């Protein structure tokens, strides 16, 4: 599909976010961007729980940021999304699409009739006389996809495409042309409130995907459970440990350090799994996006634990943002969170 402009919509734990990207003489332009907060509990672990609340936030977003188009691309990422390596006979895309569910029936742990399936070829090889593709098989439980589509539909939006959120993040940040190329791999990690999306790519081709059900809010919750803080104290301390005024500052600091350590360890062991199971290139660096990329010390701790260079993702870097009606300060503030909707929109332009 090719289009001159596309709107990506990210329904996340804390917000609905949308970005409209258009293409002009081969250059990308951000036309509109906005986000509207969601009531707590409307989206849990990446799945829409309260359709009306999400729909009403989307309506508000369309009004506030002056989106006019109604065709959108949605992202999905939750526990019931599975991405694994698979090998299929080489065939053209149309043929693969029509036969995929028969080909992969015994590779996915859910009925193929209840799943949305996709296959991303990575490389070709011969098995006997048969030419094969090695690639990533994506299977998402249909009801979780339908939940997001229903919320969009209630807001008057038509979903024309559904994409895996980690792929969107990858698309939005991975093309500065130096890393993840020429035999090296790059990890792209989006840390949200409750969902962390990890993708390792080589040359823009995803090699490994893992969705972790943890993020900034998980740390806040641990501070409530284990250090006895109120939710608002815990949230303040998560974002800025300097606000620490508790009598038991040592305990709070220890719990905070441990909770951050668990998140870092989970990211590390996911990437270690890729490193151990892949014949691919060495990891050249890690690109960090999402609100959780602002967690104090997260970049330093990932760098130290994983022994890689960690850099912030810059989804706006290759995009003209001058028409988006946002100040430089607003652009800087939203940039880490823009990776998903920007990448989703970019996926609609090809
Ligand atoms: N200024 C900040 N300083 C420190 N941490 C922050 C800051 N802003 C956001 N965070 C962290 O980022 C998290 C939210 O990230 P983000 O907005 O990307 O989540 P989300 O996309 O709504 O959720 P998810 O992707 O998990 O569904 C919060 O849990 C918070 O811990
Ligand atoms: Mg998110």
Query: Distance, CA 337 to ligand 1 centroid (Å)?
Result: 8
By the 8 A CB rule, do 133 and 100 touch? no
Same domain, 130 and 257: no
State how far the alpha carbon of 327 is from the alpha carbons of 250, 322, 337, in Å: 40, 9, 16
The structure tokens listed for 288 are 């960090």
Instruction: Provide the pLDDT confidence category of residue 203 given band limits of 50, 70 and 90.
Output: confident
Ligand 1 atom with minimal separation from the 14 CA: 22
Least confident of 33-37, 121-125, 258-262: 121-125
Residue among 9, 43, 192 whose CB has most ligand 1 atoms within 8 A, to mutate: 192
Same domain, 304 and 246: yes
Residue 326 lies in a domain: no
Bridge partner list, 89 = 132
Residue 59 lies in a domain: no
Residue 332 lies in a domain: no
Bridge partner list, 349 = none
Residue 220 lies in a domain: yes
Same domain, 234 and 308: yes
Same domain, 243 and 299: yes
Query: Distance, CA 192 to ligand 1 centroid (Å)?
Result: 5
Same domain, 183 and 309: yes
Distance, CA of 48 to chain centre: 16
Same domain, 190 and 136: no
Domain that holds residue 294: 177-313
Same domain, 182 and 298: yes
Q: Is pLDDT at 2 greater than 60 in this prediction? A: no
Number of domains in the chain: 2
Q: Is pLDDT at 281 greater than 80 in this prediction? A: no
Ligand nearest to the CA of 194: 1
Query: Distance, CA 193 to ligand 2 centroid (Å)?
Result: 7
Q: Which of 114, 141, 168 is the last residue of a domain?
A: 141
Mean pLDDT of 181-203: 90
What is the percent of the chain where pLDDT is above 70?
96
Instruction: Provide the pLDDT confidence category of residue 205 given band limits of 50, 70 and 90.
Output: confident
Helix (H, G, I), strand (E, B) or coil at 228: coil
Q: Is pLDDT at 175 greater than 90 in this prediction? A: no
Same domain, 124 and 193: no
CA–CA gap between residue 80 and residue 210 (Å, rounded): 12
Residue 331 lies in a domain: no
State how far the alpha carbon of 293 is from the alpha carbons of 239, 330, 333, 337, in Å: 11, 17, 12, 9
Q: Is pLDDT at 350 greater than 70 in this prediction? A: no
The predicted structure's pLDDT at residue 1: 45
Residue 262 lies in a domain: yes
Query: Distance, CA 210 to ligand 2 centroid (Å)?
Result: 14
By the 8 A CB rule, do 185 and 271 touch? no
Same domain, 183 and 307: yes
pTM above 0.75, yes or no: yes
DSSP string over 158-214 = EEEEEEEHHHHHHHHH--SSSTT-TT-EEEEEEE-SS-EEEEEEETTEEEEEEEES-
Mean pLDDT of 212-231: 96
Query: Distance, CA 126 to ligand 2 centroid (Å)?
Result: 39
Phi-psi map region of 287: left, alpha, beta (phi>0 left; psi -120 to 50 alpha): beta
Reduced 3-state DSSP string for 76-97: ECCCCEEEEEEEEECCCHHHHH
List ligand 1's pocket residues with C-beta within 6 A.
Answer: 12-15, 46, 192-195, 215-217, 238-239, 290-292, 294-295, 337
CATH classification of the domain holding 91: 3.30.1490.300
- Ligand 1 atom 19, closest CA: 192
Residue 207 lies in a domain: yes
Same domain, 189 and 298: yes
Same domain, 134 and 191: no
CATH classification of the domain holding 251: 3.30.420.40
Q: Mind listing the pLDDT tens digit for each residue in 111-134?
A: 888 999 999 998 899 999 999 999
Distance, CA of 271 to chain centre: 16
Residue 122 lies in a domain: yes
Same domain, 297 and 183: yes
Nearest CA-CA partner of 187 in 52, 106, 71, 280: 280
SS3 content of the chain, % helix, strand, coil (to 5): 40, 35, 30
CA–CA gap between residue 320 and residue 323 (Å, rounded): 7
């Amino acid at each position: 599909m090719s289009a001159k402009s596309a709107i990506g919509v990210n329904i996340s734990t804390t917000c609905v976010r949308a970005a409209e990207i258009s293409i002009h003489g081969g250059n990308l332009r951000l036309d509109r961007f906005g986000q509207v907060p969601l009531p707590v509990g409307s989206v849990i672990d990446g799945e829409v729980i309260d359709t009306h609340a999400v729909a009403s936030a989307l309506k508000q977003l369309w009004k506030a940021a002056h989106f006019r188009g109604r065709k959108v691309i949605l992202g999905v990422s939750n526990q019931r999304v599975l991405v694994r390596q698979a090998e299929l006979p080489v065939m053209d895309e149309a043929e693969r699409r029509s036969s995929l569910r028969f080909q992969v029936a015994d590779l996915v742990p859910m009925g193929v009739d209840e799943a949305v399936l996709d296959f991303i070829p990575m490389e070709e090889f011969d098995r006997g006389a048969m030419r094969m593709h090695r690639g990533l098989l994506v299977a998402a439980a249909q009801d979780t996809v339908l939940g997001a589509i229903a919320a969009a539909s209630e807001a008057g939006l038509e979903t024309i495409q559904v994409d895996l959120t980690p792929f969107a993040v990858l698309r939005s940040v991975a093309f500065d042309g130096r890393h993840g190329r020429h035999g090296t791999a790059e990890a792209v990690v989006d840390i949200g409130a409750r969902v962390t999306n990890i993708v390792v790519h080589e040359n823009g081709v995803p090699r490994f995907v893992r969705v972790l059900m943890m993020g900034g809010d998980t740390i806040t919750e641990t501070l409530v459970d284990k250090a006895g803080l109120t939710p608002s104290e815990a949230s303040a301390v998560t974002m800025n440990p300097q606000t620490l005024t508790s009598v038991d500052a040592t305990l709070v600091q220890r719990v905070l350090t441990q909770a951050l350590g668990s998140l870092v360890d989970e990211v590390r062991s996911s990437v270690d799994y890729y490193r151990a199971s892949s014949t691919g290139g060495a990891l050249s660096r890690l690109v960090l996006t999402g609100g959780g990329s602002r967690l104090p010390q997260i970049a330093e701790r990932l760098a130290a634990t994983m022994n890689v260079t960690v850099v912030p993702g810059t989804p706006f870097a290759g995009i003209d943002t001058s028409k988006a009606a946002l100040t430089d300060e607003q652009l800087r503030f939203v940039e880490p969170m823009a990776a998903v909707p920007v990448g989703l929109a970019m996926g609609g332009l090809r």
